[in-house]
A and B are shown apart, each in its own frame.
Chain A
């Protein structure tokens, strides 16, 4: 008897979510069925916007914005290419300069750029992307240092890429695999930008011989291997972002326990665009306009922790101190990346992993 009551109660509990789902289902159907008043933004899992900023745009434009995030930044472009005959939405945000050319070459986008785009912002899109993709934000992938470790061990912190191959920094560095992680790919490109297509393999052989550790993902490298994350890691030099030190600021906000090596950076630029074959191309264009608007741009630092493309936006106070961008990041033209990326990754794998 007792058991039967338990069973009935459990059954009722199991049914509750079903009922709730029925309720939820009808309301979402209601919004998606109205065609032109809905606009779908395809993006990656790091996209974020304040509720108020989005609501203001929806109110002003009369559009309802739906978001689809089918994965991380690395897989987004491949998903766009595969679905180009039946796009997942109307506009896209989050294609970056390491992958953009592949998508442009595949004809994923409709030509569009906001008419009143600041020339300084437009300049972040190189010629082969101009007119098709609109720069929205940027950020640097850099090696980070656990400053306390160097102080404690009385070792001068490294400053350049070359330093990392010196015996003083043996077994101290962890990076991520360019074949499986997007910061890893960005860092590989930084070394190609720094040492040229002839020199980068030699540099990596030097890193390998100096005991560099390759983790498969950013979280793996940062939380398990990096001593600066405070989780028991053993290596004081780790691949991360220029903005990461702002996450390790002390309670009182005066110091950070980590810092970025600003001479080891690769600049990532993230773009937005209108998808070819969009059901609501006008809505998509308004959405791209919105992503470059002053309101959205001002929202970027706090929401996505990237630098907005718009140079006019005032940045959070602690950024100047803890998370500045590199003055001269390394660069590789997107067209070169598109042409050689796979071959570079394979050469890298042969050199470093074996």
Chain B
């Protein structure tokens, strides 16, 4: 605090300025969410609750009684909860050792492995579905395990997608955790397990709850992979909404199911925020340079997590991906080579595409850059607002509600959002542009999905900043803007790189809402992959897999660069 310590009286003018600033920080994200998420979703759901009658549109809630009285509905709800809960628990249990090994230990190739685990997160679900089925099907590598069309098979695929969320969210916190508290416990005679359980685990609580909430939402709304691996027999609320909306245009049932989905998601968010609030407190954050140690394989405390991580990474992540890579290297004529990659410069066998895969890659990079920019600005503001703990209870609850609201896009069906866009965003807000077909909506739709991840990545770090630091700065006379700049800024930007990476990666892989807005001339990479795999011919199949590998490599690179973007100043300077 350089030299301003003498000005003890707080300046009075910045007070309403601060309110104005915070007001804007709340209003901008809320406006964004309202226009590009709430309005479309609510409009579509309302269509289901209004019936066309000769006298006009009338409210008709009979759909509730009808849908809720069917056994099938409750079977689907049970199936959704079972899949999502099992997927979440398993992701967290396997992800914790992963977070420790990849963020608390140093070993050669760590950056590479960190990039690798993120890849599944953005692979198009249609490709993952086919890759997993190829493993599980009779004749596949895991054909003997009887995983085809099984609950276990679906859960494994869900863990495949979501492992990275736990590893990154928890790892990001863990590496900043001051190791001295745990070292002290050990010095006082605690076993490694006891020290972990009583010192480290409670400190990680908020990050774990945060990750679990995100994973649960992803699992509860997983669509492609559940459909491909499980079929309608393992239908979830999400697949049922999709079928009802896109195939039957039965908006009445879809609306009731959307409300059910919202209840499930809302309950999950409530549980998670309770769990977070109970554990949350200021932590002593430090630089990862201080906290990380060299991986000691002779020490049981390192060996066990290292083994678990090895098994998960090799068995669950690398195996399906290796299948993809191997197959992508087999040329249409059966020989080995890069033919499929060379073909990415074409529009596919028998003109499967209207743009080449490289052009689609360019489109993807452009839209993802815009989406990441929007997501980081909007999500960053939300994280900043939500990181504060106002003294007044009313304000505190409002902050909590804001937090939950921005998680909803992960918990609402992409079909509902996509169809919602189509019925609302025709010249919205008096603009003379049909947003639905202008192409401008694509990055916005991707940003809506990326914002929750930006918030969840930045929030644990911002929240862990000791409020006394800010108070001290303010007492010493720093204006609110200066407090932000000097206290929140340096610590917060450390998570910014990761947030940008996540946002960019999610946008690169987004397919659900994007596919509703696609223009053939500006198709993104996932859209193109989806088209290629939808055509017969070894050439198209090979190209689809090669394009998936390119998408995977790109994602891993983005995440690795994002990690390097993080600030590197140690936290001890305060």
Contacts and interface: CB of A to CB of B under 8 A. Distances in A.
A6 B564 contact: yes
A218 B126 CA distance: 11
B366 A232 contact: no
Given A86-B426, A224-B133, A303 B351 contact: yes
Interface in B133-174: 133-134, 137-140
B134 A232 contact: yes
A220 B422 contact: no
B347 to A, nearest CB: 9
A111 B220 CA distance: 44
Given A21-B369, A216-B227, A354-B233, 17 more contacts: A18-B373, A24-B366, A43-B520, A67-B519, A67-B521, A74-B246, A79-B422, A88-B422, A102-B249, A216-B232, A219-B126, A223-B134, A232-B139, A234-B139, A248-B537, A251-B333, A345-B248
9 contacts: A20-B362, A21-B369, A46-B531, A48-B354, A70-B422, A102-B249, A219-B534, A244-B536, A345-B247
B541 interface: yes
A222 B536 CA distance: 8
A215 B247 CA distance: 16
Interface stretch (B432-440, B458-466, B484-492): B432-440
Interface string A1-35: 00100110011011101101100110010001000
A229 interface: yes
Contacts of A32: 433, 438
Contacts of A347: none
Interface string A297-327: 0000011010000000000000000000000
B518 A247 contact: no
B537 A247 contact: yes
A89 interface: yes
A240 interface: yes
Given A66-B437, A217-B228, A223-B541, A47 B134 contact: no
Given A21-B370, A222-B536, A342-B250, A70 B517 contact: yes
Nearest to A82: B423
Given A18-B373, A244-B536, A220 B516 contact: no
Given A18-B369, A222-B536, A71 B243 contact: no
A241 B427 CA distance: 40
Nearest to B365: A17
A224 B134 contact: yes
Interface in B500-519: 500, 504, 515-519
Contacts of A11: 565
A155 interface: no
Contact of A247 (B129, B366, B437, B536): B536
A346 B248 CA distance: 10
B246 A231 contact: no
A70 B518 contact: yes
A216 B140 contact: no
Interface of A: 3, 6-7, 10-11, 13-15, 17-18, 20-21, 24-25, 28, 32, 40, 43, 45-48, 66-72, 74-75, 78-79, 81-83, 86, 88-89, 102, 177, 179-180, 214-220, 222-225, 229-234, 240-241, 244, 247-248, 251, 302-303, 305, 342, 345, 349, 353-354
A229 B248 contact: no
A231 B436 CA distance: 38
B533 interface: yes
Contact of A48 (B351, B366, B516): B351
Interface in B209-266: 227-228, 231-233, 243, 245-250
Contacts of A3: 564, 568
Interface in B521-540: 521, 527, 530-531, 533-538
B231 A47 contact: no
A32 B436 CA distance: 13
Contacts of B6: none
A14 B366 CA distance: 9
- In order of increasing CB-CB distance, the 4 nearest A-B pairs are A247-B537, A86-B426, A247-B536, A17-B369
Contacts of B439: 28
A28 B354 CA distance: 17
Contact of B561 (A10, A83, A240): A10
A228 B366 CA distance: 39
Nearest to B426: A86
B86 to A, nearest CB: 21
Contacts of A15: 369
Contacts of B427: 86
A43 B354 CA distance: 13
Interface string B324-355: 00010000011000000000000001110010
Given A88-B436, A219-B534, A231 B520 contact: no
Contacts of A67: 354, 519-521
Nearest to A217: B228
A179 B439 CA distance: 30
A177 B231 contact: yes
Contact of B422 (A28, A83, A216, A349): A83
Nearest to A13: B561
Contacts of A225: 137
